[in-house]
Amino acid sequence: MTKMEPIFFHPVFKERIWGGRKLQGYGYELPEGNVGESWLISAHPHGVSQVNRGVFQGKTLQQLWQEHPGLFGHPPEEKFPLLIKLLDATHDLSVQVHPDDSYANKYEQEAYGKTECWYVVDCEEDAELILGHTAATREELASMIDAGQWTDLLQRIPIQPGDFYLIPSGTVHAICQGTVVLEVQQSSDATYRLYDYDRTDSQGKKRELHLKKGLDVIQVPHIRSTEERKVFAEGENRVETLTENSRFSLHRIQVQGDLAIPPHRTYALGNLLRGSLHLITDGGVYPLKPGDSFLLPHDLGSYRLSGSGELFITEPATPPEGQTRKKAKAAVDLGGTNLRVAAILSDGSIGRMLTSPTFAHLGPDYIIQNMIQLLQSLQSEWDFESIGIASPGPLDARQGVILHPPNLPGWEAIPLKDRLQSILNLPVQLENDANAAALGEALFGAGQGKQSVFYMTVSTGIGGGFVYEGKIIQGAHSCAAEIGNMVIDPHGPEHPLLNRGALEVMASGTALNREIQRELSHLDSTAALFRSAAEGNPSAKRVVDEFLQSLSIGIANIIHVVDPDLLIIGGGVLQSKEWFWEDLLQKVQAYLYPQLRGQVEIKPAALEGNSGLIGAAHLDSQG
């Protein structure tokens, strides 16, 4: 071979009980039957790709791997590590789980376990996926499976085209009907079927289940892994990084015109799903049409893409012996509902986030052990400098002790900082979740460049945080900015813990839901309340007016006491801000000193639900 050029492959089609005929809409001539899978690039013995043109025509991918390692940069692995598929789920797939490398090596004689990802190419309007389970312990999981409590056990999530999900080994999952998915995975066919809806095959037999092995490998509790989708835009062209994990990376490239691509670190795999492109290298011009799957060899160099189309590029991860863990700060968001642990980069972006249910009723020992496992899992990929924790109060931030938060039963004077430091050997800092969110917004969100930033969250409760010159103002007793207990109306509703008529009692999401239940029980959410008020419902309008009145008084009080450059509002209630934001701003101005009107900027939070995580990661900057 005198020049490096793309190497194109035939797909391998698989008939499946759940398949259909939709894949023919992506450039493929399908065989007869219900085709569920097209293995686009594969060296796995259950479906091996063959080169369909050029000097290597007729060779298999595994042969290229063994006989021409220079095409791949002389990799150390004996077997090709990746497998790329396009799936048509005309009916529900079975509920299943995959093993990790160690288990697959020992029990299945597979070279690899199976971590995979899904990009939703297309789906029906009400399509969904099964992703995860609800069990807190392995005993509860086994009991629910034995009792056939699949409806209660399985987590279903709605999807739409363009969604992306990483499915690490050990994750319970299933693609559901009406969905076309591009799947990138490790080169493994090790699948343990847990539940198949009691379906029968063409011979009237139920398909085999693998419950014992499945129970061995299922992750308990369920952990969802996510990362920020990074986008590079150049004119109308977009390169979107969907994932960069320890197994592979996947990039979605949308071309409208001409786009230059720099050399890949090693070889890369391409799949064109839509449109028509030309791939232009120093050695030639190669037309690409829908359905084309190809290898870009190691020494191909830079190239250009010209035309209009949607191309997916997969690259292998660096082999373990060559991997260096990336520098990051660890962050923990300890919530009453969810426990989130993340690797946060120096620019405030999220390298990876792991989320599991908190299961608060199981107490601090269970939650702390789960927290440690999540942090250790991230440490396989990231080199942490420190750990920052955002926690509900009350707490002693200086000593790192959680005192007695109402939504975490059993947490009475828990020395969380000391417990984590003793096991993980990293510096740990603890902070009130509202203060951590304030720091996140001040450093990387809506407050960037401002000297004095006050943050308030309006959600189930109301909290606050004040950041001055990049530092959290904690107060003498770690209670600064506890604005939820600020009295708005001394004759207002009572509360078992807070002052009568406090801001949280008058203007939180809980306060709105209280009024909905009392007067507007036909409404099912605070969003529905705001819509109903905008449509002229007098009862809904009165509730919203009273909410805005109380909230605007609270905001004006904060401004008079602190006089910040900027006041930021975040929290769940802000998801409905389109219905009330301008009205709120006008009401606030009416309560301010004339010289303050229009001087203090008020903005919604920019980091959405991640302010606390990002702020927690940077608690070590507080000195």
Residues with active-site annotation: 193
Residues 6+ apart with CB under 8 A from 118: 129, 164, 165, 167, 175, 181, 182, 183
**Tokens representing 5?**
């050029």
The residues that bridge with 97 in the sheet, in sequence order, are: 192
Amino acid (one-letter) located at 223: I
Cα separation values, 204 from 15, 195, 207, 396, Å: 17, 17, 9, 64
- The alpha carbon torsion through 277, 280, 283, 286 (nearest 10 deg) reads 0
Cα separation values, 119 from 86, 161, 163, 202, 289, Å: 10, 8, 6, 30, 20
Amino acid (one-letter) located at 470: G
Amino acid (one-letter) located at 331: A
Q: Could you give the angle at the alpha carbon of 533 between the alpha carbons of 530 and 536, nearest 5°?
A: 155
Distance between CA atoms of 368 and 324, rounded to whole angstroms? 28
Beta carbons within 10 angstroms of residue 70's beta carbon: 11
Concatenating the DSSP letter of every residue in 63-100 gives HHHHH-GGGGT--S-SS--EEEEEEEESSPPPEEE---
Q: In sequence order, which ranges of 461-576 are alpha helices (DSSP H)?
A: 503-507, 509-519, 526-534, 538-562
Distance between CA atoms of 266 and 82, rounded to whole angstroms? 14
Distance between CA atoms of 514 and 521, rounded to whole angstroms? 10
Phi and psi of 284, rounded to 5°?
Answer: 165, 180
Task: Yes or no: say if 472 and 431 are a contact pair by the CB < 8 Å rule.
Answer: yes
Considering only CA atoms, which of 434, 469, 388 is closest in space to residue 568?
434
Cα separation values, 468 from 443, 454, 562, 622, Å: 11, 9, 10, 11
Beta carbons within 10 angstroms of residue 185's beta carbon: 25
Pairing type for strands 382-391 and 230-234 reads unpaired
Considering only CA atoms, which of 242, 270, 232, 275 is closest in space to residue 257?
275
Starting at the earlier edge strand, list the strands of the sheet with 95-97: 154-158, 128-133, 173-175, 95-97, 192-195
Q: If residue 435 lies in a helix (H) or strand (E), which one and from where to where?
A: helix 433-444
Tokens 């799957």 belong to which residue? 293
Cα separation values, 589 from 49, 446, 567, 582, Å: 67, 20, 13, 11
